[in-house]
A and B are shown apart, each in its own frame.
Chain A
Amino acid sequence: MQLRQRSLIGRLKDIFVYSLVPLGTKPAVAPTSLLQLVVFHFFHVILIGLHILVAVAILVSRQYHVLKNNLLAFLYHHHRTPQLIAQDIQALSKIPRDVAVVLSYKESEEGGGLLGLMEQVADIASWCIGAGVKHLSVYERTGQLLDAHEATYSVIQRTLVSYYGSQKLPTVRLSTPRFRTAYPGPLQGEPELEISFICEKDGRQFLVELTQDYANKAIRGEMDPSEVTVDRIGKDVVDWIVSEPDLVIIFGPKLDLDGFPPWHVRLSEIYYTKYNNTVTYSVFLRGMRQYADCKINIGR
């Protein structure tokens, strides 16, 4: 009888303490006794209420931001005319030399897939040329575009024609630092825009590979460990991947670098638009504006 009772209490405790604390909440402090459980649920109900309030607030703010984004996209449209872009850019006090964009590959969606990604790159490239940006790094986590230079190039050419006409077509060169490939091969003089494609592996993975390389050199006696300094690594990172971007524009709904190479974002201005999920000119322009207004003072 006593045994049954105890097991009943045990079972009750199981039900109350473990089943009634919803697994999904993952509380910081889990209750262990009945009193604590009651107190826990008293406060947890308030928390659920607050979460609902937050959800409502997010809903309202999402509607507001979507409306704002659409309105701005309507007001600031490039109309595929470089003069309009130049006009927008002229008002800015400074322009980044080196811009990076974070894109994401979307399957089975309108404007998604590989072609959608290429079209996005082509649009961004056209705006960059209009704004006088010299180097564009395209980051996409899974690296879909790394070995699709030829197809991307033809999409970019087509888009550039629609912006600049076929008479004075700007020159563009694509490269993938990871594979050491470039397209089209040798050019006469500097291209107006250099586009580099990078992926998740150029981040942490590259630093790991670099360490392995240094370690092997150290074992062969070609390098002293004391040579591994911030300057040396910085030089190798720039040589092998891309230079530090001045501005990183995230074309996603939230502030998530999504694995963008950590070494590179030291002093980069990071721009994103809340609840935005499209690659539009107004987002690009607002990023440029934020960069123009920011003041960089290293350590001061």
Chain B
Amino acid sequence: MSIISWIRTFPLVQYFMVWAQDVFVSVLKTGPVPQHVAFVMDGNRRFARRRKLEVREGHSAGFESLAHILEMCYQVGIKTVTVYAFSIENFKRPPVEVNALMEIARTKLLQIIHHGDMADRFGISIRVLGQRSLVPSDVLDAIDKSTEMTKGNTTAILNICFPYTSRDDIATSMRDIVQESEKRNIDPDTIDEHMLEQHMFTKDCPPLDMLVRTSGVERLSDFMLWQSHQNCVVEFVDCLWPEFEPWRFGSILLRWGRQKAVEYRKQEMEQDQKVI
């Protein structure tokens, strides 16, 4: 690691890296790319502990990493990115940390819309998924402001799950449907998987293609359970979130793209055989 960081101090290396990443993105774009990717950003606190930083600084480093990854995602052409920012269970953490996370969420959301660089450059509309009733009012203001200001963007979507759990998502969807049935707007016999999906937080998004969790923990931790349990590639990456570099994500995308390309080619060949 030290050799790599030493090489990085060379003149022009940084410039070359940025250029190489751009080329890599252009290359990836010519093949299949997932439509919807979800991230569990795990490992910020361990990162802080290892580097002897404050927990708050660990979370800030995590946000920096997120910005790099998001940039790559939208450059490559991924339409929807969903990130797990805060779980309902996270309210059990010490109040100091919860407050710090809320503060980060508020300032970063406002920062995104004030600078507007990323949101406007890629045409991202920001959505916040989760239980609004649990969010303090000043953060709620920031959420409303950022969603309102980016509402017109249609190229891509950024879903921030805050505070979210997948079970709560499923339960909310079921409750909404039961409520509608009680008012006789829905016939119970017509309820199906699609209807449940249409009442979830992710209703307008394409189906989830890939879920990435960092820090080597091999659990879903109540995130996107319904969306990821079939027809979805789940990747558990053994590195902390602030150390998760675009290169690493690129290699995951490359493997995914190759697998899809092989599948498409098979389909094509089968179709050709049918024609003959």
Contacts and interface: CB of A to CB of B under 8 A. Distances in A.
Report the interface size class on chain B: 35 or more
Interface residues of A, number: 61
Given A24-B264, A207-B170, A300-B93, A51 B188 contact: no
Interface in A65-82: none
Nearest to B189: A212
Nearest to B171: A230
A32 interface: no
A214 B30 contact: no
Given A225-B179, A255-B234, A26 B170 contact: no
Given A47-B27, A214-B174, A208 B191 contact: yes
B72 to A, nearest CB: 13
A107 B73 CA distance: 40
A212 B180 CA distance: 12
Contact of A263 (B32, B221, B225): B225
Contacts of B218: 269-271, 290, 294
Contacts of A263: 167, 170, 225
Interface of B: 23, 26-33, 76-77, 87-93, 165-168, 170-171, 174-175, 177-179, 181-182, 184, 186, 188-189, 191-193, 196, 217-222, 225-226, 228-230, 233-236, 254-255, 257-258, 260-261, 264-265, 267-268
21 contacts: A23-B268, A24-B267, A26-B261, A27-B32, A27-B33, A28-B77, A43-B26, A47-B257, A58-B255, A204-B193, A207-B174, A211-B177, A211-B178, A215-B186, A219-B188, A228-B178, A233-B171, A262-B229, A263-B167, A268-B219, A299-B90
Given A215-B191, A218-B178, A233-B174, 15 more contacts: A23-B264, A26-B260, A27-B32, A43-B23, A43-B27, A43-B29, A43-B30, A208-B191, A210-B174, A211-B174, A216-B188, A263-B170, A270-B218, A296-B219, A299-B87
